[in-house]
A and B are shown apart, each in its own frame.
Chain A
Amino acid sequence: MKLHPVVSLLVQRVALGLLLLLAVSVLIFAGTQLLPGDVAQAILGQSATPQALANLREQLGLNDPAYVRYFRWLGGVVQGDLGTALTNGQDIATAMGGRLWNTMFLAFWAAVIAVPLAITLGLIAVRYQGRWPDKLISAVTLSTISLPEFVVGYIAMFLLAVKFRVFTSVSTVYDGMSFADRMSAIALPVIVLVLVVLAHMMRMTRAAILNVMQSAYIETAELKGVRPFTIIARHALPNAIAPIVNVVMLNLAYLVVGVVVVEVVFVYPGMGQYLVDHVAKRDIPVVQACGVVFAAVYIGLNMLADVVSILSNPRLRHPK
C-alpha cells in the first residue's frame, strides 16, 4: 500500500522529531553536568555542613556516575515516569502538569488575540501601504516590540493595576478559580505578550502579501474592478499563507517557552519560573523534563507549520 505523500512525510517527521528529542535530552543532561555545584549544595545553601551534604548526596543517589543517572532517568521516561524532584520530592508529572496547563492557558489567550489582530493589522497596512494607517501601525507595533518585556509589563502594571486598578498586578491562578477571575488575573500578562509578539507577525504578513501583490493575477483582479480589500483578503492572502504560518508558529512557540520574564513580573505560575528555579537548584530530573517538553513544543509547532504550508499549496499537495 502506498501512503499519501503528506502522510508519509508526517510519519517521517514524527520519527525524526522523536530522535531529535532524544538528542536534546542528552544535550540538556550534559549541560547540567557542566554547571558548578550540585543539588545537595544548592538545597542546603550557605548553611551546609560537610556531614549534611554527604548524607543528602547519598540519599539522592548523586554518587552514581553520570551515565547511570541518565539511563535511569531515560528508562523511567520511556515508561511514562518522569520521576520526583530531588529538591522537594514532588512528583514531576503532577507539578509540571499544572504549570504546563497554566502556560498553555496564557499562551492560548495571548495567541487568540494576537494572531487575528496581527493578520488584520497586516492586511490594513497593505491596503493603505505608505499612507498614515500603515505608518501608524508599523510605528506602534515596532515600538512595543523594541521595549524589553519587563518595561512593557511595569508600565501596564503601573497604569492598569496601581493607578486605575482595572486589573490585578499579581496574576497567580489556582485550581477552583472561576473562569472570570482567571481571565481577569491573566489580563495584564496577556496584554504584554500580545504587544510583544504583534509586530513580528504583522510585519511578516505585510511583507508576504506585498510580495504577492506584484503578481499578474492581482493586476487582473484590479482591472476587473474587485474592491482593494477583497483583492488582499481573497486573492493575495491565501497565496501568502506559508511564510505567515511559519512566523505565527515561531511566535506561538515563543509564547509557550519564552515568557519567563513576564511570569516573574506578574507572578504567573508557569513553566518558565519552574524551570529557572530548578536550574538554580541543580534539580536535574525537573530540568530534563522541562527541557524535553519545551523541545517537543518547538518541534511539534514547526512540524505543524510545514504541514500547513504544504496543504496551502496545491503544487505540494498534489505532486506529480
Chain B
Amino acid sequence: MNDELHYLLGRTARGQFSRRAFLGRAAALGVSAALANTMLAQAVRAEGPKKGGLIRLGMAGGESTNSLDPALAASEVPMQVSFTWGELLVDVKPDGSIDPRIAEEYSSSPDAKEWKFKIRKGVEFHDGKTVTAEDVVATLKRHTDEKAKSGALGIVQGIADMKADGDMVTLTLKDANADLPYLMADYHLMIQPGGGIDNPAAGIGAGPYKITVNEPGVRHGFEKFANYWDSSIGHADQVEILVINDGTARSAALQSGQVHIINRLDPKIIGLLKRAPGVRIEAVAGRGHYVFIMRTQTEPFVNNDLRMALKYAINRKEMVEKILGGYGHIGNDFPINAAYPLFDDTIEQREYDPEKAKEYYKKSGHDGSPIILDTAPGAFPGAVEAAQLFQESAKACGIPLEIKRDPDDGYWSDIWNKAPFCASYWGGRPVQDQMYSTAYLSTADWNDTQFKNERFDSLLLAARGELDEAKRKAMYSEMAHLVRDEGGVIVPMFNDFIAGVSDQIQGWEADPNQELMNGRAQVRCWLA
C-alpha cells in the first residue's frame, strides 16, 4: 500500500483526519471508493473501541408525556432511553441471531413448550442489588398481569406458567413457540429490580448507563454504570439524548456539531447533507413498511377481485423513488422481506399492471363509485403524497380513488382499524411469527385488515412449534402467498432506517431490527 495512504488511514481510524477527506485522497491516489471504505472499516476495527467522552443523540419521537416505565414505551425516544439504562434477558444481534444478556444461556424442550433461561452470575442493578431469577419472573409477571397496562401484554400472554428456581427461570407456554427468545427481546421487557412493581418508572435497571437526568420531551442524561458486567459495550463515559422533533433543527444540530447522531433523516435532504463536511449518512434496509389497509370484512373490500385490482393498480417502484427518495425497496403485498430469517425469495414480485387491474376491476363488478382512501400526514412520512400517487396510477387503470385527508390528531384512534381503506405503517418484528401473529392471525387484536383465513391460522400455529427450519420455511412461504393473493394489505414499500452520523462516531453497524442500531447506537459506538 502507498505510504501516504497508509499514514492517512491510521490517522482517519483514530479520528484525526476526516473520513471524507480520506476518501478524497484515496480517490486521488487511484483507490476505488468501495475499496477505500473497506480499508477504513478494517483500520477502525484494528484500532479498537476508544473509551470515554460524551455521545449526544438528537432524536425525533419524544414527547413531554413520556414515562420511564418501559411498559409504556411506545415511541423512539423512550425506546432508546430504555436501552441505555435497561438490560434484556436476551437480545437480537444485527444478523438476526440471539444474543444472551442477563440469561447466559437458554434451552427448550423438544416440543418448544418449556423454555429454560440460566441467569448470568454477577449482573448488578444500578441500586446495587444482584439480578436474580426472581427479578426476571417478577418483571415478566408485571407485563403479563391481567391488570397490566403493558404494550407487551399481547406478546407475553402466551406464557402459562413461570417459575424461578435458583439461577434458572422456567417458562411453560400454552402453545409451542420456537421463537420464544425473540419475544423475550421485546424492548418493553427490561428486567427491573423486583419486577419494577413498586416503582415502574424508577429507571433503575442493569444496563450500561445510569440515568441522571430525566426531562421528558427535552433531554435524558446518563453516566456510565461502573459495575456493568459487559466491557465490550458502553464505551462513552456519558450519554445524552436530546429530543429534537423538528427535522430541520435535527439536521442543523448534527451539522453544527451539537449532536453526534440523529434519527429519521428526511430522504429529501439527504442530497444536501451528503455534501456537508464531517457527517455521513447511515441507511439500512429494515423490516418497517408502509401499507394501505383494506378491511376484508367491510364493503366494498369483501370482494377479493376488487382487492386484487387495487394491488395491481399501485406503482411500487415510483413510490420507492418519490416517497422514499430511493432509500427503501418495493413490497410484495405481504409484510415480510429479506431482512427476516426464513424468507422465501422465490415468491413472484407483483408489478404495476394496468391491464390486469382493469380485468380484476371489471370482474369485481364494483359500481364505479369512487373508493375512499383515508390518509394523514402522520400515517407515515409522505402518506398524503403516496395516496396521491396511488390515485393517479389507479386512475390510469380506470379505478376512481377519492382521497380523504384526515388530521394526524386522532388518526390512530378514529381512522386506523376503523375506516375501510386507509394508509398506515408497521415497524416490523424480529421474526415472521411475531409479525403475522400481531396483525394477520384472525383473532389478533391488531388484525387491521380483518384477515380471516383458517388455513393461514393453522399454518401459523404449526410453524410456531416447528423446530425443523426447512419445513418452517415452506409453511411461511405458503402463508406469504395467502396474504399476498387473498389478504387486505397493500405493501408498496419497505422503508430504510436513515440516520445522520458525525465522523467522530465509530463502531456503527448496520442493524435491520430497528433504527439507530436497534436502539443501541449510544451503547455500542464510541467517539474517535
Contacts and interface: CB of A to CB of B under 8 A. Distances in A.
Contacts of A43: 65, 72, 74, 149
Contact of B242 (A37, A46, A154, A170): A170
Nearest to B424: A46
Contacts of B219: 172, 174
B277 to A, nearest CB: 11
Interface string B156-193: 00000000000000000000000000000000000000
Interface in A70-96: 85, 87-90, 95
Nearest to B72: A43
Given A162-B252, A278-B65, A50 B242 contact: no
Given A169-B253, A273-B64, A47 B147 contact: no
A162 B244 CA distance: 16
Contacts of B258: 168-170
A191 interface: no
Interface string B48-78: 0000000000100001111111001011000
B65 A154 contact: no
Contacts, number: 134
B69 to A, nearest CB: 8
A22 to B, nearest CB: 26
Given A44-B74, A52-B151, A88-B201, A172 B242 contact: yes
Contact of B149 (A55, A161, A280): A55
Nearest to B58: A170
A257 to B, nearest CB: 17
A269 B149 contact: no
A241 interface: no
Interface in A211-238: none
Given A36-B410, A273-B217, A274-B217, A50 B249 contact: no
B215 A280 contact: no
Contacts of B75: 45
B2 interface: no
In the complex, which of the residues A45, A48, A283 has the most CB atoms of chain B within 10 Å of its own CB atom? A48
A67 interface: no
B218 A158 contact: no
B33 interface: no
A33 interface: no
A51 to B, nearest CB: 6
B290 to A, nearest CB: 14
Interface stretch (B23-31, B329-337, B387-395, B412-420): B412-420
Contact of A168 (B72, B147, B256): B256
Given A56-B149, A170-B58, A88 B216 contact: yes
A294 interface: no
Interface in A8-61: 35-37, 41-52, 55-56, 59
Contact of A59 (B63, B149, B416): B149
Contacts of B69: 88
A174 B215 contact: yes
A161 B414 contact: no
A118 interface: no
A49 B217 contact: no
B18 interface: no
Interface string A145-172: 0000000001001100110010011101
A281 interface: yes
A58 to B, nearest CB: 8
A172 B218 contact: yes
A123 B149 CA distance: 62
Contacts of B67: 87-89
Given A47-B151, A50-B445, A267 B252 contact: no
A307 interface: no
Contact of B213 (A37, A174, A277): A174
Main secondary structure, interface of A, reads helix
Given A41-B413, A88-B216, A170-B244, A157 B249 contact: yes
Contacts of A170: 58, 242, 244, 249, 253, 258-259
Interface in B196-230: 201, 213, 215-219
A207 interface: no
A38 B65 CA distance: 14
Contacts of B213: 174
B148 A269 contact: no
B446 A46 contact: yes
Contacts of B296: none
Given A264-B245, A265-B248, A273-B217, A89 B74 contact: no
A49 B445 contact: yes
A298 interface: no
A161 B64 contact: no
A158 B245 CA distance: 17
Contacts of B148: 52, 55
Contact of A266 (B151, B249, B257): B249
A175 to B, nearest CB: 9
Contacts of A265: 246, 248-249
B132 interface: no
Contact of A161 (B151, B245, B252, B446): B252
B154 interface: yes
A88 B147 CA distance: 18
Given A157-B252, A265-B246, A267-B249, A37 B410 contact: yes
Contact of B65 (A44, A50, A85, A169): A85
A14 to B, nearest CB: 32
B13 interface: no
Contacts of A44: 72, 74, 149, 151
Contacts of B154: 47, 49
B242 A277 contact: no
B153 interface: yes
B243 interface: yes
B473 to A, nearest CB: 28
A88 B445 contact: no
A49 B216 CA distance: 25
B477 interface: no
In order of increasing CB-CB distance, the 7 nearest A-B pairs are A37-B413, A88-B67, A87-B65, A36-B410, A277-B63, A269-B218, A169-B252
Interface of B: 58, 63-69, 72, 74-75, 146-151, 153-154, 201, 213, 215-219, 242-246, 248-249, 252-253, 255-259, 409-410, 412-414, 416, 445-446
28 contacts: A36-B414, A41-B413, A43-B65, A43-B72, A43-B74, A44-B151, A46-B446, A47-B74, A47-B446, A49-B153, A52-B150, A85-B65, A88-B65, A88-B201, A89-B67, A98-B215, A154-B248, A162-B255, A170-B244, A265-B246, A265-B249, A267-B244, A267-B249, A267-B253, A273-B217, A277-B64, A281-B63, A283-B65
Given A42-B413, A170-B242, A274-B64, 19 more contacts: A35-B410, A43-B74, A45-B74, A45-B412, A46-B74, A46-B412, A52-B150, A52-B151, A52-B153, A59-B149, A87-B65, A88-B66, A89-B201, A158-B252, A161-B256, A169-B249, A170-B259, A267-B246, A269-B218
